[in-house]
Structure 1
Amino acid sequence: MATLSSADKNLVAMYAGGYRPGNRFPGGYLIYDARNDSISGIPELPSDHSHRAIGCESAVVMCEAAAAGNDYFLAELVRVWPDGSQAALWLWKSSVQKWDLHPSRVPLPSSTTGHFSPDLCFSCWGSVLCWVDLLKGMVLCDLKQNCKFSFIQLPKDCPTYDADSDDFTYSSAEEFRSMACVAGEIKFVALDECDEHQPEKGLELTMWTLSHDLSGWKESCKYNVENIWANEAYKPAGIRNLPPSYPVLSIHEDGVVYLVLNDLRELDYGLEHMGQWMLRVDIGNDKVQFYPNGEKNSVNSLLFASEFSAHRQHLQDHPVLLPPLSTVSFAYYRHFIYVYYH
C-alpha cells in the first residue's frame, strides 16, 4: 500500500505502508520519477520518540532548481512532543542520501480549536516548502534563506470554522477549500455561502492570491454556483442542480478550478450514490466545461493536479487536465488528476 503526499514536476512523493513519523508501522517513503519511470525508496526518519506526525500527508518533494540532473529534496515536518506547540524539520537530499534534522524548532500557531494539522502540502518557487491547514493557515519554509519559517494566516474575510464543533458538517476541509501554486503564485480557493445570514443566496466560489512578499492575500475573483447551473454546458446533461465540492486549482491556468458533483439520493433504505461528475470552471471567462459521464464510485478524499504524467511522455508544452475518465485511484485513499501535454 502506498499513499500520495505531494508532487513536483516529474516527481511524486508517497508513504510506503502505514508508516508515519512516530508510529510503529513498518515502511518509509517512495519517490516516483516519471522521467525514467522509476521508484526509489527512502528510509523512515531516524528514531526520535519526541517527534510525531503533524498530519496524514506532510512529506513535501521538491525538484532541486539548481541541479542539472535529477536531484531533489524531501522534507518532513514533525510535531515535537510533549506539548506539541513546536515542529521540527527533517530534510532529505537525494545527492547526499541521508536525513538531516534542522537545528531550530518551528513555533506552531496557537489555537483554541486544536493543533495546526496540514491538510495538504506542496512546494513552489524552487525553494519554498508549504504545509497548509485549510482551517488555520500555512507554514512556509524557504530553503534559500537558511530554512526561514513563516506562518501565513488565511484571508481575513474568509469564514472561520471549528472542525470539532457540531456545526461543522463537512467530513474534511478539502470538501470546500484548496490551495496550490498556480503559474508561480500561491492561490487559495474556498466554496462558502454568499452570506451566512442569507443562505438562500447560495454558494459562492472565492479565490485569493498571496502577495509575493507574503504580507497578505488579495481577492482575485468570485463566482456564484448558480452561474454553473445556468450555463449552457450544464443544462443538457439532465441532472439536477447539485452543489459542487472538492475544488482543485489548475496549476497552470489562472482562474480555472475543477469541481466534483456528487448526486446522493435519500431512499427508503438510506442514501444512494447515483453518480459523480467533474466540472472545469474558467471563472474569468465565465466558461464551464462539463464532463457528463457520471461514475458510481464516489470521490471522498483529496484531489489534486499534477504534471508528472507529462514527463512520462517526454513532451514539453503546457499541461491540461483530462476528463474524469482519466481520473484514477492511484493509492489507498488519495486520488490523482492526470495531466498531459498537447
Structure 2
Amino acid sequence: MREARPEGCGRPRDVRAAPRRLPGSHLFPVHRPERRGGSKHRSGARRHQRQAGGPGSIQIASRQLLVLLVIFRCRLHSERAYYLVYDSIDASLYMIPYIPDDLEAIYTLTPVPVHTDDGGDHKLTLMARKFWPEPVDRDRLCVCTPATRANPASDSTGPWQIKVLRRFPELSEAFSADVMFSLDGKVFWADLSQGLAFSDLRNGGSVVDVDFIKLPDRVCGRTEPTTMSRTMGCVGGSIKFVCIDRRRARPGNEMVKVWTLDLGHRLWKEEKGLSCPWKEFLEQVGFMNAELRNVEPQYGSTPS
C-alpha cells in the first residue's frame, strides 16, 4: 500500500529501485508533425527537441517522480512523442502520449504533478491551446489521472482529460512558467517577474478557471534571467517566494528576502525573521567551506 503524505513534504525515497511494470496498454502512438509559427513560450514537441538538441529531455526530477519527454522518429519523417514517468513510491514506470494533435502546449512542456487526496498517486497537468479555427476560448488544461491512464479513451484524447481553461490574465509581458508546483489539489505556474497563476482541480467539471496573484510590492530588483535571483515553491505546506536583492549592495551584503503567501486573502507577507544579508546567512551555515564563503548567491531553490 502506498504511504499517504502531504504534498511538498516527506522523506527522500530510493529512486534507484527497479521498476516493477511497464504496461503495454499504456503505449499510445501519436503523430507529431512539424508546425510553423508559435512564440518561445508556445512550442510543440518537435520545436522542443531542436532546442534540447536531441530526441529526449528530462522534464521533472524530484524525490518522487522522474518525467522524461521522449520522441521516436518514424518513417516518412513523422514522430511519436511520449512522457515516460517513473514513480519512486511504488517503483512503477509508465508511458503516455503527448497531448492530442489539435492542441499544443503553452508556456511549458513540463507537466505539473498533482498528488491525489490520499497522497499515494498523482495526476499530470499541462496547459495547452487549440489550433485554429476556434476564435475564442482556445486555452485548455490537459489532465492525466490514474483512472484515465488505466482506461484511456478510444478517441484521440487517450489518457488525457481536456478541460476548458478560462480567465487567464492579460499581462503587460508574455507569461513565462519559470517554476511549477502543486498544493492541496491546486496547480501553480509562477512567472518570477510578474506573478503566480493557479487553478483548483478539485472543482471538477469541464471548465477550470485561472486565478492570478501579483508578486509582492517592492520586490527585489530584476536581474536577467529572473531565475538567477528569484524562486518560488511549496515548503512545509506553505508557498514561499525567495529573492536575492543586489541593489546598491557590496559583495556579501546582498539581502536574501522571503515572503509567504496567504492564499485565502491573496496577500504576500514578508518573513522579517528569515530575511537577512547573505554574509549573515553564511555565518549560520556550519558546513560551508571557508574557501567558498565569498561566493555570490545565485539560482536559489526551495526544498520540496
For the aligned pair, the TM-score class normalised by the smaller chain equals 0.5 to 0.7
Match of 1:136 in 2: 194
Question: Quick one: which amino acid aligns to residue 264 of structure 2?
Answer: D
Q: Deviations over 1:162-188 (max 9, x none)?
A: xxxxxx5x3x32222111111111111
Determine the C-alpha separation between the residues in 1 that align with 2:70 and 2:142.
Answer: 17
Contact 1:31-1:39 at 8 Å conserved across structures: yes
1:11 matched to 2:65? The reply is yes
Determine the C-alpha separation between the residues in 2 that align with 1:219 and 1:200.
Answer: 23
Q: CA deviation at 1:72?
A: 2.3
Question: Quick one: which amino acid aligns to residue 202 of structure 2?
Answer: K
Match of 2:178 in 1: 119
Q: Deviations over 1:186-216 (max 9, x none)?
A: 11111112xx3x3338311111000040421
1:209 alignment partner, one of 231, 238, 260 = 260
2:277 alignment partner, one of 209, 216, 224 = 224
Determine the C-alpha separation between the residues in 2 that align with 1:237 and 1:158.
Answer: 31
Match of 1:38 in 2: 92
Greater strand content: 1
Report percent identity of matched pairs. 24
Q: CA deviation at 1:2?
A: 3.4
Question: Quick one: which amino acid aligns to residue 123 of structure 1?
Answer: S
Match of 2:36 in 1: none
2:216 alignment partner, one of 126, 143, 155 = 155
1:181 alignment partner, one of 234, 241, 247 = 234
Contact 2:102-2:131 at 8 Å conserved across structures: no
1:200 matched to 2:250? The reply is yes
- CA separation of 1:132 and 1:87: change in aligned 2, threshold 3 A: farther
- CA separation of 1:189 and 1:37: change in aligned 2, threshold 3 A: same
1:72 matched to 2:149? The reply is no
Query: Secondary structure of the residue that 1:144 maps to in structure 2?
Result: helix
TM-score by length of 1: 0.58
1:103 alignment partner, one of 135, 139, 164 = 164
Q: CA deviation at 1:61?
A: 1.0
- CA separation of 1:86 and 1:182: change in aligned 2, threshold 3 A: farther
Q: CA deviation at 1:41?
A: 0.4
Q: Deviations over 1:280-320 (max 9, x none)?
A: xxxxxxxxxxxxxxxxxxxxxxxxxxxxxxxxxxxxxxxxx
- CA separation of 1:223 and 1:18: change in aligned 2, threshold 3 A: farther
Question: Quick one: which amino acid aligns to residue 37 of structure 1?
Answer: A
1:238 matched to 2:291? The reply is yes
- CA separation of 1:177 and 1:233: change in aligned 2, threshold 3 A: same
Once the two structures are superposed, the pairs formed by residues 50-65 of structure 1 within 5 Å of their partners are 51-57=104-110, 59-65=111-117
Question: Quick one: which amino acid aligns to residue 157 of structure 1?
Answer: R
- CA separation of 1:80 and 1:154: change in aligned 2, threshold 3 A: farther
Contact 1:28-1:44 at 8 Å conserved across structures: yes
Match of 1:257 in 2: none
Determine the C-alpha separation between the residues in 2 that align with 1:25 and 1:106.
Answer: 33
Determine the C-alpha separation between the residues in 2 that align with 1:84 and 1:25.
Answer: 29
- CA separation of 1:134 and 1:154: change in aligned 2, threshold 3 A: same
Determine the C-alpha separation between the residues in 1 that align with 2:250 and 2:65.
Answer: 44
Q: CA deviation at 1:224?
A: 0.5
Determine the C-alpha separation between the residues in 2 that align with 1:61 and 1:153.
Answer: 23
Question: Quick one: which amino acid aligns to residue 114 of structure 2?
Answer: M
Q: CA deviation at 1:152?
A: 1.2
Query: Secondary structure of the residue that 1:103 maps to in structure 2?
Result: strand
Once the two structures are superposed, the pairs formed by residues 242-253 of structure 1 within 5 Å of their partners are 242-251=295-304
Determine the C-alpha separation between the residues in 1 that align with 2:283 and 2:136.
Answer: 48
- CA separation of 1:152 and 1:235: change in aligned 2, threshold 3 A: closer
Structure 1: where are the runs of 5+ without partners?
A: 162-167, 252-342
Q: CA deviation at 1:103?
A: 2.7
Match of 1:337 in 2: none
Question: Quick one: which amino acid aligns to residue 217 of structure 1?
Answer: W
Once the two structures are superposed, the pairs formed by residues 257-272 of structure 1 within 5 Å of their partners are none
Q: CA deviation at 1:132?
A: 1.0
RMSD (Å) for aligned C-alpha atoms:
3.1
Determine the C-alpha separation between the residues in 2 that align with 1:232 and 1:102.
Answer: 46
